[in-house]
Each structure stands twice: as structure tokens, then as C-alpha cells.
């Protein structure tokens, strides 16, 4: 079955630490890849997306993600996190076979000042 896995459910970091959140999907066809962020009490916002081209995608607020097709992965990275990055992060994959967005289970990030 088509699925999206986020292996880290809870991550706690100190400010200035580097961040990498894993995302893997199980589907061999064409995909579009997204990372969304949900700050406390707010709605989902798009961080970045990959449709085609350069597999290293830069998003807002210093986030980037790399699509590695051979590994079916789209990991999110940020070199130096801030307290304001505390939020829940969702990886989502659009699969052309199902015409719908499938979300990972989310990763709750807590950044300590």
C-alpha cells in the first residue's frame, strides 16, 4: 500500500542545533513532495515542495529538503534551528496513481531556548 513514513515522532533540540527530519514513501511512480508546518494553534503552512528539477529544494525560513529518488526519501533540514521553529512538521506525498495527498504521521519539534 502507498504510505508515507516519518520516523521521528518527537524531536527536542537546543537553539542553533542542526535539524534533519526523515521522510520516506513507498511508491515507485511519479510523485510530488511537500513539507508542511503547523505552528501551535495555527493552520498548516507550506514550507517547501518538489515537483521536478534540482532535487535540493530550498523553502521558507531557512529550511531545505533533498529528494533522493533511489531511497524514496525527502528529508527536511535546517542548519541552525530557532525557538520559533517549535511546531509540528508533516511530510506529504502526491502520488499520480491515487490523485491525493498522503500525509506522514508528523514530527513534533521542540526547540529549547
Partner 1 sequence: GAVVSQHPSWVICKSGTSVKIECRSLDFQATTMFWYRQFPKQSLMLMATSNEGSKATYEQGVEKDKFLINHASLTLSTLTVTSAHPEDSSFYICSASPGTLSGRASTDTQYFGPGTRLTVL
The distance of closest approach from Cβ of residue 37 to partner 1 in the complex, given in angstroms and rounded to an integer, is: 11
The distance of closest approach from Cβ of residue 79 to partner 1 in the complex, given in angstroms and rounded to an integer, is: 25
Q: How many angstroms separate the CA atoms of 16 and 89, rounded?
A: 18
The DSSP secondary structure of 38-80, one letter per residue, reads: E-TTS--EEEEEE-SS-SEEE-GGG-EEEEEGGGTEEEEEESS
- Residues 52-111 touching partner 1, rule: CB under 8 A, are 90, 94, 96, 99-106
**Out of 17, 22, 49, 86, which residue is the one contacting partner 1 (CB under 8 A)?**
49
Q: How many angstroms separate the CA atoms of 34 and 29, rounded?
A: 16
Please count the residues of the chain: 113
The distance of closest approach from Cβ of residue 61 to partner 1 in the complex, given in angstroms and rounded to an integer, is: 17
Contact 73, 11 (CB under 8 A): no
Contact pattern for partner 1 over residues 16 through 45, marking x by CB under 8 A: ----------------x-x-x-----xxxx
**Out of 3, 51, 55, 79, which residue is the one contacting partner 1 (CB under 8 A)?**
51
Three-state secondary structure call for residue 84: helix
Please give the residue ranges that form the binding site for partner 1 (CB under 8 A). Answer: 32, 34, 36, 42-46, 49, 51, 90, 94, 96, 99-106
Amino acid at each position: 500500500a502507498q504510505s508515507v513514513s516519518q520516523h521521528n515522532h518527537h524531536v527536542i533540540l537546543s537553539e542553533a542545533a542542526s535539524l534533519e527530519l526523515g521522510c520516506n514513501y513507498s511508491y515507485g511512480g511519479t510523485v510530488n513532495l511537500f513539507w508542511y508546518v503547523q505552528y501551535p494553534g495555527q493552520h498548516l503552512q507550506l514550507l517547501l515542495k518538489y515537483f521536478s528539477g534540482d532535487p535540493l529544494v530550498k523553502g521558507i525560513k531557512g529550511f531545505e529538503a533533498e529528494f533522493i529518488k533511489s531511497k524514496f526519501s525527502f528529508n527536511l533540514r535546517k542548519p541552525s534551528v530557532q525557538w520559533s521553529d517549535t511546531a509540528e512538521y508533516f511530510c506529504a506525498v502526491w502520488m499520480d496513481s491515487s490523485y491525493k495527498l498522503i500525509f506522514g504521521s508528523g514530527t513534533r519539534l521542540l526547540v529549547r531556548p
